Chains A and B, each alone.
Chain A
Amino acid sequence: MKAAWHDLRPVLAVLLAERRPMLAAGAALAAVTVLAGVGLLGLSGWFITATAIAGLSTATALAFDVFAPAAAIRFLAIARTAGRYGERLTTHEATLSALAALREKLFRGWAPPGAARRLLERPARLLFRLTADIDALDSIYLRILVPFLAAFAAAAATGLVLAALNPWLGLSAFLWLALLGLIIPLRTAAAALAPGLRRAHLTEALRTRTIDLVAGQTELAMAARLTAERHAIARTDRRLVATDERLNRIETRASAAFGIAGALLLAGTLYVAARLAEANEIGAPAAALAILVVFAAAEPFAALKRGAVELGRTRLAARRLAPRLKTDPVAPARPPSMPPNRQAARLKSVDFRYPDAKRLCLSDISLTLTEGETLAVVGPSGAGKSTLLALLADEATPEAGEIAHSPSVLLTQRTELFQDTLAGNLQIANPDASEARLWRALEAAGLRADVEALPSALETRLGEGGLGLSGGQARRLSLARLFLRDTPLWLLDEPTEGLDGPTAREIMRRLKGQKRGRSLVISTHLRREAEIADRLVILEQGQIVAAPRRNEPGFEQALEALRPD
């Protein structure tokens, strides 16, 4: 219980910070609906019994005020309908709102450099898990909070009505319902915790295995393991069947428990009401009222089991997401210290190590980049080329040494485009850029004609990850994005990787054309990219082993060692 609270609190805090009145209104409407339902049946029972007794003689029949109760019954019928409609609208609107806020908060939570790096290192499977986690969270309000409030409103109302007839009857009915409403969901949640978590893990395993089967199909076929992989999927599914069955058993048990408890309460109330009526403590109409109220009150409790069964999954989701929801505002990025005049960047004895890594990734790096200079960082993969760029882009902080550099922008190795319009993809770089400016950037990147040929031009929507463009077009688009950033230092991480020779050379030419006195740092293992450099920086195992300038000995030789197309 305490642990559950501890897990859910950070998420609850975010949910409640947003649209608190609406969330409260939703819960209140749920309670109103339940109360109207209880009132409708109770009053109907009382009404019929009272009229039956009054109807025995003509005199009482005429004196009996039928209109007030009949109107009240109709009013309750309409109130119940309106309440339910209002409840559903309000709770859904509140949930959607709160989840919108939650998504924004999560995004901001992942944006700081450390968190972003860890996120991007994660496999796609974990990104998927993230959305499943977010979806699991709407259960907190819709399936746990609201049903609980409604059920307890029903318990309290039942207790009060019955207490008016007989205090002991009221108190015991309330206690019975309240205890049921607590004990059954708690026991259900406790029983469902382990299988619920197991289910979440097995579902992920099934996913992973399916991805392995489809993406690794050729390898599996060649190794004669296709059938084995299929059997492995079937095995995972069998384990899932076992947990699904177990969860269903737990849920069924909770349902049956509520059903039995409701029947016992009904029978008990019937007996007690009959005894009270026989003793003339209450009239027959009151007895009918009591029995029908109790009959109606049991209904909202059945809704508690689903939230209870899902609680384990919800907690898991909350636990995984909580670190990204910490409310402390992200510290504004420290402005990089500026290098001395006429320099674009200066590194002095810089050491860098990835968290938890044993050895340094970069050690004792000292480097000065003058304004307008183009530098190519070369070396075998794993030598620390990308890390050097990350340092210059403030994506990483050195363990020792000093870094100063002009404002920089990094062109990432992987072309990252978004599910958005072409214009939207460009405006990521510069939200205020005019349309004319966007066209100029496209022109400079050699993409203008391609975009003009599209029916919706700049408003063309791209699919997931920029789907709809060829590799060369996608790279040009990211180049246009770079051209929209007016910073004095451009950092290019393998800018033409994966492109064919002619396209790659054209992109290098356009880069050079747009350089205009800026400084460039290119991380590369391709000759065509390093060719435009004024100086090569050769990295090996995190150290600079040579840095020949153009026309110095070693420059051509180092260039030769790089890979041709």
Chain B
Amino acid sequence: MRLGAGLQVFAALLWLPQAALIALVIGDLAGQGPAPEDVGLNAATAALAVAALGIVRALLDGYAGRLCFGRARAILSERRAKAAKALAARSPLDSGRPASGVAASILGEQGEAIVPYLSRYRPARLKALLVPLAIVLTVFPVSWAAAIVLLIAAPLIPVFMALIGWRAQAASEAQLAGLGDMNGFLLDRLRGLATIRAMGAVDATAKRLRQEAETLRARTMAVLRIAFLSSAVLELFAALGVAMVAVYIGFHLLGQLPFGAWGGRLSLGEGLFVLLLAPAFFEPLRDLSSIWHDRAAGEAALKALDDLSAIDLALLDADADDAEDSQREGARAPAPALRLENLSFAHAGAEQAAIEDFSLSVEAGEKIALFGPSGSGKSTLLALIAGLAPADGGRVLIAEQSLDETNAGSLRRQIAWIGQTPHIFAGDLMSNVTLRRPWIGRDTARRALAAAGLSHILAGRDGHLGEGGIGLSGGEALRVALARFTADPGNSLILADEPTAHLDSETAEDIADHLLAFAKGRTLIVATHDPLLAHRMDCIVYLPKSAMRAVA
């Protein structure tokens, strides 16, 4: 990155010899100053040299830009990987865990803002620091007066920009929240289109949408009027700086302003040289201001990615499957016994513990229901058994192994998980069952689908599913979850969280049948408030509404 920025400064400074050559040629045409021949050039070779320098400058600048871009893009990749790692490790019971849509936005499009920031803003800042300085140092020995004109114009720019920028900042903070609203409003209304249509409010909503957008436009313009003023000030100083240099040199050459050139009189060549450098003096400042907003967006993106990389509560042994991914045999393990000893868990910031001093013993192959109303901690308990969060106290023993940071990953591999609203992954039905596990072949997956009563879907559609399982009913989504875990014979402990909630009675019964069939020879724990399902288990553990006590 440093090399790239340095090369960009160097490329910008190549304009100095170019300008000198041009000034030399024109000075000669007017019969003033040293002729190009004096330095061993004629007009043609001077032109060639100008062209050559220009080409070198363009290529060098491009190369330096590529270097900076490559480095900045690599940093984006690093940050993305770091955030993804944190997202994977963050416990589902961590209340600060971001929603999937938010995480996707930050990791995706918002994160991209750091590339222009790192690749353009920093080199531009270096250029704005060094190039004007180099130009002033070059101009000074030729004409101190011109150098002073530039020196006066330049520092005034940041002062005015700061003054205006300060007001713009206040104004923009007040309405920035509104800027994203334009799309937000449209999306919000499109999501509720069914209701808007049902209520006959299409026209009114369209008008409202327009009106909101117009209000927002007015507010945005109020901010932009100030924000653009800051760049206008810069433009004004740049243009006036060039104009003043030109006018000063003109008057000087006429003899009306005879001072400023160390006692002598500037030649036309020298005058032109100074004039040609004047715009180049201001250019880096203009560049910097035009990418000023890259900085704000880039820093916001860096911060968002950093926040995403934070972990308050982690899964146990989140990196377990890092190493030996594909070497896993699907041998069926014997059903494990399960023992919970004095388990406690409190959600962050909650006054009351969700689970307190809870003990339970489940024999190998036993099927039990955790029965209780919502809020009784059933789901939390299942999450603790699966090692999805560390318990505050007590321990979980699966087949006499105490669940901890070192073995949670391998213990989880024996556990099947059927949640209340299973996530349907983007892709087709088959990949939703295999989850791209190398140890689960397509035939196994197909058999699991058939066993879960889904073969008609596989046959009937192209098998392609959208995000959120569009096209699948709630019952079908549960069958996918069943197939997903029945496909892996290595699962010997089944945890099911409210598997029959929100289903019609026929479907609920059918799902329960499938679940029990799969549970043959396995240990099953079902959290539910469905009495029909609970009564099909060997044993029911009743959980009171308040914090859990030892019951069994």
Ordered by A's residue number, 29 sampled pairs between the chains whose C-beta atoms are within 8 Å are: A44-B246, A45-B275, A49-B268, A69-B250, A73-B243, A78-B236, A78-B240, A92-B220, A100-B216, A100-B217, A104-B209, A111-B193, A111-B197, A124-B468, A128-B101, A130-B187, A211-B100, A213-B88, A234-B80, A255-B61, A264-B54, A271-B47, A287-B26, A292-B275, A380-B507, A416-B192, A429-B201, A485-B199, A563-B503
Shortest Cβ distance from A234 into chain B, in angstroms? Answer: 5
Q: Which of A219, A258, A525 contacts B419 (CB 8 A)?
A: A219
Shortest Cβ distance from B419 into chain A, in angstroms? Answer: 6
When chains A and B are docked, how far (Å) is the Cα of A107 from the Cα of B85?
A: 39
In addition to A222-B386, A292-B276, 19 A-B residue pairs with Cβ atoms within 8 Å of each other are A48-B246, A49-B30, A76-B239, A81-B236, A85-B235, A88-B224, A92-B220, A96-B213, A116-B194, A124-B468, A215-B100, A216-B423, A218-B423, A266-B51, A277-B29, A381-B474, A465-B191, A525-B504, A562-B505
Decide if B1 is an interface residue (CB 8 Å cutoff).
no
B250:A256 contact, CB within 8 angstroms: no
B198:A77 contact, CB within 8 angstroms: no
- CB-CB under 8 A from A104, the residues of chain B are 206-207, 209-210, 213
Shortest Cβ distance from A380 into chain B, in angstroms? Answer: 5
Decide if B484 is an interface residue (CB 8 Å cutoff).
yes
Q: A225-B435, A287-B26, A381-B474 are in contact. Are A131 and B183 (CB under 8 A)?
A: yes
Annotate A115-134 by CB proximity to B: 1 below 8 A, 0 otherwise: 01001111111111011101
Residue of A119, A216, A221, A288 most packed against chain B (CB within 10 A) = A221
Surface stretch bound by A, among B169-177, B317-325, B544-552: B317-325
When chains A and B are docked, how far (Å) is the Cα of A466 from the Cα of B109?
A: 26
Q: A113-B197, A127-B187 are in contact. Are A218 and B92 (CB under 8 A)?
A: yes
Shortest Cβ distance from B324 into chain A, in angstroms? Answer: 10
Q: A64-B254, A131-B183, A218-B388 are in contact. Are A100 and B210 (CB under 8 A)?
A: yes
Decide if A267 is an interface residue (CB 8 Å cutoff).
yes
Q: Which of B253, B417, B475 contacts A51 (CB 8 A)?
A: B253
Q: Which of B44, B57, B374 contacts A271 (CB 8 A)?
A: B44
- CB-CB under 8 A from A58, the residues of chain B are 255
Residues facing B in A70-98 (CB within 8 A) are 70, 73-74, 76-78, 80-82, 84-85, 88-89, 92-93, 96-97
- CB-CB under 8 A from B466, the residues of chain A are 122-123, 125-126
Surface stretch bound by A, among B225-233, B294-302, B392-400: B225-233
Decide if A498 is an interface residue (CB 8 Å cutoff).
yes
Residues facing B in A179-235 (CB within 8 A) are 203, 206-230, 232-234
When chains A and B are docked, how far (Å) is the Cα of A214 from the Cα of B98?
A: 8
Decide if A431 is an interface residue (CB 8 Å cutoff).
yes
Decide if B163 is an interface residue (CB 8 Å cutoff).
no
Q: A219-B435, A227-B88, A270-B50 are in contact. Are A73 and B235 (CB under 8 A)?
A: no
Decide if B351 is an interface residue (CB 8 Å cutoff).
no
Q: Which range contains the number of A residues in contact with the other chain?
A: 35 or more
Annotate A232-252 by CB proximity to B: 1 below 8 A, 0 otherwise: 111001100100110011001
Shortest Cβ distance from B159 into chain A, in angstroms? Answer: 17
Annotate A550-563 by CB proximity to B: 1 below 8 A, 0 otherwise: 00000000000111
- CB-CB under 8 A from A481, the residues of chain B are 195, 199
B409:A224 contact, CB within 8 angstroms: yes
Q: Which of B54, B186, B255 contacts A259 (CB 8 A)?
A: B54
- CB-CB under 8 A from A76, the residues of chain B are 239, 243
Decide if B249 is an interface residue (CB 8 Å cutoff).
yes
Decide if A40 is an interface residue (CB 8 Å cutoff).
yes
Q: Which of B61, B182, B191, B243 contacts A40 (CB 8 A)?
A: B243
B243:A44 contact, CB within 8 angstroms: yes
Surface stretch bound by B, among A4-12, A146-154, A405-413: A405-413
Surface stretch bound by A, among B65-73, B127-135, B363-371: B65-73
When chains A and B are docked, how far (Å) is the Cα of A119 from the Cα of B471?
A: 13
- CB-CB under 8 A from A122, the residues of chain B are 466, 470
B426:A223 contact, CB within 8 angstroms: no
Decide if A135 is an interface residue (CB 8 Å cutoff).
yes
Decide if B483 is an interface residue (CB 8 Å cutoff).
no
Q: A111-B202, A274-B29 are in contact. Are A219 and B100 (CB under 8 A)?
A: no
In the complex, residue of chain A having the shortest beta-carbon distance to the beta carbon of B54: A263
Q: A218-B388, A224-B409 are in contact. Are A74 and B240 (CB under 8 A)?
A: yes
A48:B198 contact, CB within 8 angstroms: no
B185:A48 contact, CB within 8 angstroms: no
B47:A274 contact, CB within 8 angstroms: yes
Q: Which of B195, B246, B320 contacts A73 (CB 8 A)?
A: B246
Shortest Cβ distance from A320 into chain B, in angstroms? Answer: 14
Annotate B247-274 by CB proximity to A: 1 below 8 A, 0 otherwise: 1011101111000000000011001100
Residues facing A in B385-444 (CB within 8 A) are 386, 388, 409, 412-413, 415-417, 419, 422-423, 425-426, 435-437
The 9 closest A-B pairs by CB, nearest first: A263-B54, A259-B58, A100-B213, A44-B246, A525-B504, A123-B467, A267-B51, A216-B423, A416-B192
Q: A107-B190, A125-B466 are in contact. Are A270 and B46 (CB under 8 A)?
A: yes
Q: A41-B242, A252-B62, A431-B201 are in contact. Are A464 and B184 (CB under 8 A)?
A: yes
Q: Which of B61, B193, B200, B253 contacts A110 (CB 8 A)?
A: B193
A227:B325 contact, CB within 8 angstroms: yes
- CB-CB under 8 A from B488, the residues of chain A are 223
Decide if B524 is an interface residue (CB 8 Å cutoff).
no
- CB-CB under 8 A from B470, the residues of chain A are 121-123
Q: Which of A208, A262, A381 contacts B475 (CB 8 A)?
A: A381
- CB-CB under 8 A from A48, the residues of chain B are 246, 249-250, 253, 268, 271-272, 275
B43:A271 contact, CB within 8 angstroms: yes
B47:A267 contact, CB within 8 angstroms: yes
Shortest Cβ distance from B233 into chain A, in angstroms? Answer: 8
B198:A226 contact, CB within 8 angstroms: no
Q: Which of B70, B85, B195 contacts A230 (CB 8 A)?
A: B85
Decide if A528 is an interface residue (CB 8 Å cutoff).
no
Annotate B203-226 by CB proximity to A: 1 below 8 A, 0 otherwise: 011110110011011001100110
When chains A and B are docked, how far (Å) is the Cα of A212 from the Cα of B469?
A: 12
Decide if A497 is an interface residue (CB 8 Å cutoff).
yes
B50:A498 contact, CB within 8 angstroms: no
Q: A107-B206, A116-B193, A291-B26 are in contact. Are A248 and B505 (CB under 8 A)?
A: no
- CB-CB under 8 A from B210, the residues of chain A are 100-101, 103-104
Decide if A323 is an interface residue (CB 8 Å cutoff).
no
- CB-CB under 8 A from A414, the residues of chain B are 194
Decide if B138 is an interface residue (CB 8 Å cutoff).
no
- CB-CB under 8 A from A253, the residues of chain B are 62
Q: A225-B437, A259-B61, A561-B505 are in contact. Are A409 and B43 (CB under 8 A)?
A: no
When chains A and B are docked, how far (Å) is the Cα of A420 from the Cα of B437?
A: 45
B467:A40 contact, CB within 8 angstroms: no
Q: A260-B58, A429-B199 are in contact. Are A211 and B101 (CB under 8 A)?
A: yes
Q: A84-B232, A104-B213, A222-B386 are in contact. Are A381 and B473 (CB under 8 A)?
A: yes
Decide if A382 is an interface residue (CB 8 Å cutoff).
yes
A207:B254 contact, CB within 8 angstroms: no
In the complex, residue of chain B having the shortest beta-carbon distance to the beta carbon of A109: B206
When chains A and B are docked, how far (Å) is the Cα of A267 from the Cα of B43?
A: 10
Shortest Cβ distance from B276 into chain A, in angstroms? Answer: 8
Shortest Cβ distance from B474 into chain A, in angstroms? Answer: 7
A238:B77 contact, CB within 8 angstroms: yes
In the complex, residue of chain A having the shortest beta-carbon distance to the beta carbon of B409: A224
Decide if A47 is an interface residue (CB 8 Å cutoff).
yes
When chains A and B are docked, how far (Å) is the Cα of A56 from the Cα of B338?
A: 105
In the complex, residue of chain A having the shortest beta-carbon distance to the beta carbon of B532: A564
Q: A111-B202, A263-B51 are in contact. Are A80 and B325 (CB under 8 A)?
A: no
In the complex, residue of chain A having the shortest beta-carbon distance to the beta carbon of B503: A563
Shortest Cβ distance from A330 into chain B, in angstroms? Answer: 9
Residues facing A in B105-126 (CB within 8 A) are 105, 107-109, 115
In the complex, residue of chain B having the shortest beta-carbon distance to the beta carbon of A211: B100
B198:A409 contact, CB within 8 angstroms: yes
When chains A and B are docked, how far (Å) is the Cα of A222 from the Cα of B58?
A: 55
